[in-house]
Amino acid sequence: MGIYVHVPFCRSKCYYCGFYSLASSSWKKEYVEALVREIRMRKNYLGGEPVRTLYFGGGTPSWLAADELEAIVAALEEHFGLGAVTEQTLEANPEDVVTEKLRLWKDLGFNRLSMGIQSFNEEVLRRMNRAHSSQQAIQAVERAARCGFENISIDLMIGFPGDDCRNWQEELKEVNYLPVSHVSVYMLSIDSNTVFEKLWRKGQFKPLDEDAMADQYLWVSGYLKSIGFEHYEISNFAKNSKYSVHNTSYWQQKKYIGFGPAAHSFDLVSRQWNVAHLKNYIDALNRGCLDFEKELLTEKDQYNEYLMTNLRTRWGISPAYLQARFPEFWKTAVSKWPLYEKNGWVRTDERRICLTEKGWLVSDELFRELFII
Ligand code: SF4
């Protein structure tokens, strides 16, 4: 079981970012009060089962003040009990990673930091409107390690125009020297309602084309593997099996509850998501209710989700499970694997079918072919 807390505040909006967050700290106090109400209101959602992972994402959770973070963790402790939590992650932006905050996060039980760094190239950071420099990012990781964080993840973004494999060769040398155990590598995409989307519509911005993006992805993946990282999910790499336990539970379709505006929850049979509007979220909770939408998952949805989430990981799918659980749907997929294998997109053994890195690159097309509509 996992708990996710969405903290929707950022100092400024990065030009590529489509996540729900506001470039402001107005309503922070009201947000914390509403969040605590939501935690109390939904305390039975997980049916009393022990919580194993806790993840604060955003937005910028590291921007929360000590008393705000303490109030949220105390409410979670009171209503869910955090005694069985083994992984407690906080997303942190480099500019927040100072010794005083690191000590607070440790005291509150956080044992994993996920830092949005995106690039070690100053020019790229500036053009993305990131609020930190490359040097600040390096120092933040080193400082966190000195304060005792042994599980540090960083996010990088490939596909920025003008950034090529040669630049990445220089940038990734940093990763080799830094005390990080996990790297997430995302491909730049044009998300709705972002500055890059506006520029792209005017013809003033264009990410790398598909072939160049694929070359960069394979090159970065190859480099990370050469320095000891395992490519265990389409966008994620871990050293010494330090996988993200929280995110892995999404891919393995375990139950989770999400608190805060735009947060999603899943109880095996339905999925629900809170309103992506801070003021509406707060107003509803002030009236004693939650503003959310919900969908029941049909058999088709469950089959499609199983394929999509599990094929993202190196552990792949189990044909025996699919044959037993969804025999009719599975019949439509069986004839496709030999061709995929011939094209180098999948590898199979007697127990699992997994996508290769080449397969991950064309996974959107494969999902379109495999899904039951
Ligand atoms: S990338 Fe992170 S810091 Fe930047 S706007 Fe999005 S949520 Fe905020």
Q: Give the pLDDT of residue 349.
A: 86
Indicate the number of domains in the chain: 2
- DSSP 8-state symbol, 336: T
| Among 5, 6, 12, 13, residue to substitute to test ligand 1 (most atoms within 8 Å of Cβ) | 13
Cα dihedral sign, 115-120-122-127: negative
- DSSP 8-state symbol, 95: G
Distance CA 7, CA 74 (A): 16
Same domain as 353, residue 217: no
List, in sequence order, the alpha helices (H) in 187-326.
195-201, 210-226, 245-251, 278-286, 299-311, 319-325
* Cβ atoms within 10 Å, residue 288: 8
Residue nearest to atom 6 of ligand 1 (CA): 17
Token look-up 């190239």 returns 121
Distance CA 187, CA 215 (A): 12
Q: Give the pLDDT of residue 174.
A: 85
Instruction: Give residue 52's region: left, alpha or beta (phi > 0; psi -120 to 50).
Output: alpha
Q: Give the pLDDT of residue 261.
A: 98
What is the mean pLDDT for each group of 10 consecutive residues in the chain (373 residues)? 97 96 95 98 92 97 98 98 97 96 98 96 94 95 98 96 82 90 96 96 92 92 95 97 95 94 95 98 98 97 95 96 95 93 93 95 95 94
Dist. CA 6 → ligand 1 center (Å): 12
Pocket of ligand 1, beta carbon within 6 A: 10, 13-14, 17, 19, 21, 58-60, 93, 116
Distance CA 73, CA 363 (A): 38
- Are 126 and 166 in contact by the 8 Å Cβ rule? The answer is no
Kindly give the pairing relationship between strand 270-274 and strand 112-118.
unpaired
Same domain as 303, residue 245: no
Residue 231 lies inside a defined structural domain of this protein: yes
Same domain as 205, residue 88: yes
Q: Residue 64: which domain range?
A: 2-250
Token code pair at residue 213: 């993006």
Same domain as 120, residue 8: yes
Q: Give the pLDDT of residue 159.
A: 93
Token code pair at residue 34: 């509403």
Paired with 369 in beta bridges are none
Q: Which helix (H) or strand (E) holds 294?
A: strand 292-296
Residue after which a domain boundary falls, among 190, 224, 250: 250
Its pTM stands at: 0.95
Dist. CA 21 → ligand 1 center (Å): 7
Distance CA 95, CA 63 (A): 9
Token code pair at residue 291: 């503003």
CATH of the domain at 213: 3.20.20.70
Q: Give the pLDDT of residue 234.
A: 96
Widest CA span of the chain, in angstroms? 59
Q: Give the pLDDT of residue 165.
A: 79
